[in-house]
Amino acid sequence: MGRYIVQDQAQLSNGTELSTSDSAIGWGANFSAKINVFVHDDIRFAAHYGLGIGRYLSYNAYAAGSIDPTGTIKLQPSFGGHLGYRHWWSKKLRSNLSFSYSGTKNNLEYITQLDKVNKDVHSSQINLIWAPLPHSLVGIEYANASRKVETQQVGNIDIITLTCRYDF
């Protein structure tokens, strides 16, 4: 992935407006694979790394970078991975178990509110999905996620999702 980032009207955290502009090229790479095991089961995994790709990871958990006092864009590295296992109980019933992690190396010298800046995020999910009729499914999933900010404070969330779907 590649992206072109431009700032042409920066405002520093102390309220100072800069009249300079700057641009930077962000990039990211991902490696993912699926390995079939047993009859229908599979293991899926992915690893990613990039500079300035923060918004593309973990539901926009990270910034692409920051702007130094001279108006120069300072991109930051972000990284992570995912591991999942899909098990078929029968032709109509399956489960998934997955774990994911992502993090970033924030440009701390240009950030003032460290309690609002994510350092890393991880989550785990388990579900049960049933396909009672062709083109339909019913599923329930439990997910647990945690994020740590730069002040080392941790926030957790537990989610239960019920899904009913019919594909036309």
Query: Beta 93-104 vs 65-67: how paired, if at all?
Result: unpaired
What does the CA dihedral 118, 12, 9, 51 come to, rounded to 10 degrees?
-30
Looking at every residue in the chain, the average pLDDT score rounds to 93
| Residue in 117, 139, 119, 121 with CA at minimum distance from that of residue 129 | 139
Both tokens of 137, joined, read 């499914």
User: Within 10 A of 96 (CB to CB), how many other CB atoms are there?
Assistant: 17
For 124-166, write each residue's pLDDT tens digit. Answer: 999 999 999 999 999 999 999 999 999 999 999 999 999 999 9
- For residue 13, the model assigns a pLDDT of 66
Both tokens of 151, joined, read 């002040």
Mean pLDDT of all residues in 107-133: 93
For 55-86, write each residue's pLDDT tens digit. Answer: 898 888 999 998 888 888 999 999 999 999 99
CA 51, 57, 58, 62 dihedral sign is positive
Single pTM value for the model: 0.84
Could you give the CA distance from residue 168 to residue 133 in angstroms, rounded to a whole number? 12
- Nearest-Å Rg of the Cα atoms of the chain is 20
The answer to whether 119 and 104 have CB atoms below 8 angstroms apart is yes
Could you give the CA distance from residue 73 to residue 54 in angstroms, rounded to a whole number? 14
